[in-house]
Structure 1
Amino acid sequence: MALPVVVYGHPVLRKMSDEIDENYEGLEQLIEAMWETMYDSDGIGLAAPQIGKNIRLIVIDGDPLSDEFPELEGFKRVLINPIITEHGEDQCIESEGCLSLPGIREEVKRPKKITVEYENENFELVEEELDGFAARVVQHEYDHVEGKLFIDHLSPLKKRLLKGKLNAISKGKVDVRYRIKTA
């Protein structure tokens, strides 16, 4: 069942998320609901805080963008308790959007390469080196479990220019085709 997406202004988006283990009640159903929510919202990634859960859980399916970013072909992951252990020195700028910030797209500077450790849905430890847009998507979703949003990477001027849109989002005054949840 697709769940409502928590939008800007809700305090859950600004909290550091807790680690979970294989005994987390209803985890399999939660992961399934997150996939459904992400697909229903036309997203390519979703972190648990975006559905109101402060746990370190992320789902990503980059395949829809694989024509533009070949490194996303077949890039479908469940990341439990992720930790980015290394950031490459080279940076790049790409446009980002977010289901929790509907209607906002901005250029964000991020490292081109990262190393991430996480547990998959079977709680097997995975270490992965990622580059290009795959690294960007993981960093974007990772920000969510760290209590951050992509707008935190913008200049103070850019943030001030977005203030009206952010206020409207926090009040639920947005036109989206998926269900949202405000504070």
Structure 2
Amino acid sequence: MQTILPVAQCGEAILTLIAAPISESEFGSAWLNTLADTMQDTMLERNGVGIAAPQVYISKRVIIVASRPNPRYPDAPEMDAVVMVNPEILAFSSEVVSGEEGCLSVPNERGQVQRAEKITIRYRTLNGKAVETEFSGFPARIVQHEVDHLNGVLFVDRV
């Protein structure tokens, strides 16, 4: 069964907080798995390509990155959804690109945002496995946008 959560909107305090890390005891828990499932349902229902837990009123360091073409981003590349727990961007490329961004928490607004073309990120899976990988292009933009949410920053703060 799908569960669609309400999405916090620009101006709400939850979006300005620095989200708390997921603790060791939470990895592999039913609570964390349910959070990821409901975040994904909510993101897909609203044609998002990413979502952060603070956007669904949970101030925890969990994001989903899921680039795919949809009505909001018709030219987005296709990738499998990746749930990232306690993500940390380790490196940003010196090459910076400008691109249009929108946000489920800032409806009907778009803006050009400068982001690193490539990033190296470390995160953990829902079960706690450590992963280090690189993203480039649009998926790298999504990761940077969602990590910003974990740090209380909205894309409109960067326009």
1:94-153 deviation digits (Å, cap 9, x = unpaired)? 100000000100111111011110001221101011111110000000100011011111
- Aligned residues with identical type, % of pairs: 38
- TM-score (structure 1 length as normaliser): 0.78
Whether 1:121 and 2:126 are equivalent positions in the alignment is: yes
- Hey, what does 1:18 align to over in structure 2? 20
- Hey, what does 1:3 align to over in structure 2? 5
Give the SS at the match of 1:104. Answer: strand
Instruction: Please give the alpha-carbon distance, in whole angstroms, between the structure 2 residues aligned to 1:133 and 1:39.
Output: 17
Instruction: Please give the alpha-carbon distance, in whole angstroms, between the structure 1 residues aligned to 2:75 and 2:152.
Output: 29
Alpha carbon RMSD of aligned pairs, Å? Answer: 1.6
Within 5 Å, which residues of 2 pair with 1:1-183? 1-24=3-26, 26-64=31-69, 68-69=75-76, 72-154=77-159
- TM-score (structure 2 length as normaliser): 0.90
Q: Which has the higher contact order (CA 8 A, sep 6+)?
A: 1
Structure 1 residues not aligned, in runs of 5+: 155-183
Structure 2 residues not aligned, in runs of 5+: none
Are the equivalent residues in 2 in contact too, given 1:112–1:135 (CA < 8 A)?
yes
For 1:134, the aligned partner's letter is: P
Are the equivalent residues in 1 in contact too, given 2:69–2:75 (CA < 8 A)?
no
For 1:125, the aligned partner's letter is: A
Would you tell me which structure has more helix in proportion to its own residues?
A: 1
Larger radius of gyration: 1
Query: Cα distance 1:67–1:75, how it changes in 2: closer, same or farther (>3 A)?
Result: farther
1:71-93 deviation digits (Å, cap 9, x = unpaired)? x4224200000000111101101
Deviation at 1:68, TM superposition (A): 2.6
